[in-house]
């Protein structure tokens, strides 16, 4: 990434965030209605990882840093025990403007009420139900053990009467965990060890409809708390089966995940044909999400109560959400009435759709005075942790860390190499992908190690050797490497095989430098391992590592490289901040410089997250604070 582009992007980023923050002020019904709350949010952004109330902390862990050095098995067990998605109400996930997203949000408006009386009763942590329906129901079916602990047991504890039976379906908890409250002998609950889903990605069995709706009755109440499968389970149920329920209470999880908004929308449209939405309760545990600069905002997790239309009445649609008490002490000084004014579910103008429907979902805790402290908070996913593991430094240059050398300027555009790997005979060519009119690293590499550098870039002006650099041989090719993009003709693109067959001898090694603003993810996975092994070193700038929807691709790419190479150096870009996996304290910078060395030129060493080389590493942006090795917090 070239420095002038970095300065432009930094300025644009500050301006954009300034606009977002301005749009949150009280005159716009804003998210930050008081200076006190604004200051508190800014304070949290600067110390996100260390704050106990930002995530989970093992009570047995005295040293917060010790978690980073826990053996993998123990750490994995800790993650399973942790409330991985608990966040302060101020946590805000930003999503890409989209008409699909706006339509999905609008379906959470309350457009009905309970019967003629309109009586709504808050039970459990604050979930709205129609009490008259319970008096005539024949069965209450609860799907997921939490549906009982958070909802069903509260009905019994409140002394509410219903003539029907109560059955809890779950296959992950023992029957002994489903108990009636003490002092309620009239409470009777059955437990069915029912696996109507098998992990997150497995297909559902063909008899799913039978399992969620018994035959020969249309007087059911259903409670669904089966994270994160509620939308998929209900989507495959037929409308006829769903109409057997008089009332459905559904806990919707992680509504900020735009990749699922079409599924959410289709499910809501299906339900609203036969049901009124009569109550929406916002979870106080998980923060919110919004569409920046469009005044659309709602909670990440909600309880929604649907009443069959023959039992309810239509009303004027309205944004109406109650705050639950699921997480005591998680309001941070925000009252229930104050919080209610913060939700906005209807767009005032068309939003369009993002190009290629590629959505970015992240939480941002932004510090305008210091973009380096910007933290993108990602939902907990195993693939993100697997990606983080690939960045561990467990090797060094074969001749030791002193063999590292910086080539190029003392700012953006300079990179580290292993001198021995560059100086050993049997190499005459280097390949540099991503030029944008300047490649001082490639020019110095050519001059110092007598290599002919071939630069490839079809997006910017050409580049040649500086006149004062003796021995430099640099040839610029107005071609890009990989698959065609941007409407450019196929003749402007070449493959690695094309480059090697045209510019390198079969018995010669090469060096690869790739800094192409994100194209590395579409180029490197397709390069055969035999071709990669032709390179002694890969100098790479990895971009936009916070994009969780691409973490599987990123991890696949790095694991592919690591079959033939070892990572010996990493350095953070200090312009764009870091990202963190929620609930773990683990994360890393969004953009990093990396040096991979072929295994025959690397040596094993003690593993570490990263090592800052003070005489070699420099700030990419000189006017911003540096991101040191501490910004890499990786699982062991």
Ordered by where they begin, the domains of the chain are 95-174+187-195+216-325 (3.40.50), 376-631 (no CATH)
Find the DSSP H helices in 67-215: 72-81, 99-106, 131-134, 145-147, 153-157, 208-212
Distance CA(290)–CA(434), nearest Å, equals 35
Which DSSP state fits 265? H
Tens of pLDDT, residue by residue over 613-636, are 999 999 998 888 899 999 999 998
Secondary structure (3-state) at 290 = strand
Whole-number pLDDT of residue 332: 36
| Confidence (pLDDT) at 305 | 95
**Gap between the Cα atoms of 495 and 234, Å rounded:** 46
SS3 for 455? strand
Q: What is the pLDDT of residue 235?
A: 76
Strands 190-192 and 220-224: unpaired
Rg for the chain (alpha carbons), in Å? 28
Asked whether 566 and 596 are in contact (CB, 8 A), the reply is: yes
Q: Report d(CA 632, CA 617) in Å as an integer.
A: 15
CB 70 within 8 A of CB 105: no
436, 95, 47: which is closest to 255 by C-alpha? 95
Segment (H or E) for 298: strand 296-299
CA-CA distance, 126 to 280, in Å (whole number)? 10
Residue 207 is predicted with a pLDDT of 37
The rounded distance, in Å, linking the Cα atoms of 149 and 179 is: 9
Predicted confidence at residue 436, as pLDDT, reads 81
**If you write DSSP's letter for every residue of 401-440 in order, what string do you get?**
GGGEEEES-SSTT-EEEEHHHHHSSSEEEEEEE--TT--H
First to last CA, the chain: 30
pLDDT attached to residue 54: 29
CA 13 – CA 1 distance, rounded (Å): 16
**Positions in the chain whose pLDDT score sits under 50:** 1-4, 6-8, 10, 12-86, 197-210, 329-341, 356, 365-369
Place of tokens 């958070």: 150
Question: Which residues are registered as beta bridge partners of 569?
Answer: 595
Spatial distance between the Cα atoms of 295 and 178, rounded to a whole number of angstroms: 42
């Amino acid at each position: 990434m070239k420095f002038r582009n970095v300065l432009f992007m930094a300025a644009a980023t500050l301006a954009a965030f300034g606009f977002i923050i301005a749009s949150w002020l009280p005159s716009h019904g804003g998210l930050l209605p008081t200076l006190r709350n604004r200051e508190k949010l800014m304070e949290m952004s600067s110390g996100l990882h260390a704050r106990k109330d930002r995530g989970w902390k093992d009570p047995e862990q005295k040293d917060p840093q010790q978690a980073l050095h826990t053996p993998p098995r123990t750490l994995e067990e800790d993650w399973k025990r942790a409330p991985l998605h608990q966040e302060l109400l101020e946590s805000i996930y930003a999503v890409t403007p989209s008409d699909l997203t706006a339509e999905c949000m609008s379906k959470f408006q309350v457009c009905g009420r309970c019967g003629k009386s309109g009586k709504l009763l808050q039970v459990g942590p604050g979930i709205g139900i129609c009490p008259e329906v319970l008096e005539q129901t024949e069965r209450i079916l609860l799907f997921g053990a939490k549906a009982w602990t958070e909802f069903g047991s509260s009905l019994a504890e409140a002394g509410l009467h219903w003539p029907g039976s109560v059955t809890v379906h779950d296959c992950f908890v023992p029957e002994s965990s489903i108990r009636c409250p003490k002092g309620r002998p009239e409470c009777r609950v059955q437990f069915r060890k029912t696996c109507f889903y098998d992990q997150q990605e497995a297909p559902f069995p063909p008899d799913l409809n039978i399992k969620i709706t018994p035959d020969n009755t249309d007087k059911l109440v259903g409670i669904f708390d089966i994270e994160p499968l509620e939308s998929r389970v209900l989507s495959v149920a037929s409308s006829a089966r769903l109409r057997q329920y008089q009332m459905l209470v559904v806990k919707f999880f992680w509504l900020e995940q735009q990749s699922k908004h079409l599924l959410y929308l289709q499910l809501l449209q299906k339900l609203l044909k036969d049901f009124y939405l009569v109550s929406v309760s916002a979870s106080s545990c998980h923060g919110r999400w919004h569409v920046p600069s469009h005044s659309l905002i709602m909670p990440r997790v909600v309880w929604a109560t649907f009443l069959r239309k023959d039992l309810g009445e239509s009303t004027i649609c309205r944004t109406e959400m109650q705050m639950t008490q699921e997480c005591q002490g998680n309001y941070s000084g925000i009252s229930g009435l104050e919080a209610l004014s913060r939700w906005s579910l209807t767009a005032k103008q068309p939003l369009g759709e993002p190009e290629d429907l590629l959505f970015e979902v992240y939480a941002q805790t932004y510090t305008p005075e210091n973009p380096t402290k910007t933290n993108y908070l990602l939902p907990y996913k195993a693939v993100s942790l697997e990606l983080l593991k690939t960045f561990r430094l467990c090797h060094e240059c074969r001749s030791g860390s002193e063999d590292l050398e910086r080539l190029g300027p003392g700012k953006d555009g300079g990179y580290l190499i292993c001198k021995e790997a560059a100086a050993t005979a049997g190499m005459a060519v280097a390949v540099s992908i991503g030029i944008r009119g300047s490649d001082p690293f490639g020019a110095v590499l050519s001059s110092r190690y007598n290599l002919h550098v071939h630069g490839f870039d079809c997006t910017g002006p050409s580049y040649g050797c500086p006149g004062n650099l003796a021995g430099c041989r640099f040839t610029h090719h107005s071609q890009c490497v990989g698959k065609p993009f941007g409407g450019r003709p196929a003749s402007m693109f070449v493959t690695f095989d094309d480059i090697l067959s045209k510019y390198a001898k079969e018995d010669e090694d090469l060096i690869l430098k790739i800094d192409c603003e994100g194209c590395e993810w579409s180029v490197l996975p397709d390069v055969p391992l035999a071709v990669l092994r032709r390179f002694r070193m890969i100098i790479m700038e990895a971009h936009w590592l916070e994009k969780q929807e691409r973490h599987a691709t990123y991890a696949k790419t790095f694991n592919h490289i690591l079959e033939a190479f070892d990572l010996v150096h990493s350095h953070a870009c200090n312009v764009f901040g870091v990202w963190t996996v929620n609930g773990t304290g683990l994360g890393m910078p969004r953009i990093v410089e990396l040096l991979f060395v072929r295994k025959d030129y690397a040596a094993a060493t003690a593993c570490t997250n990263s090592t800052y080389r003070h005489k070699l590493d420099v700030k990419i942006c000189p006017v911003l604070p540096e991101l040191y090795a501490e910004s890499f917090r990786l699982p062991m």
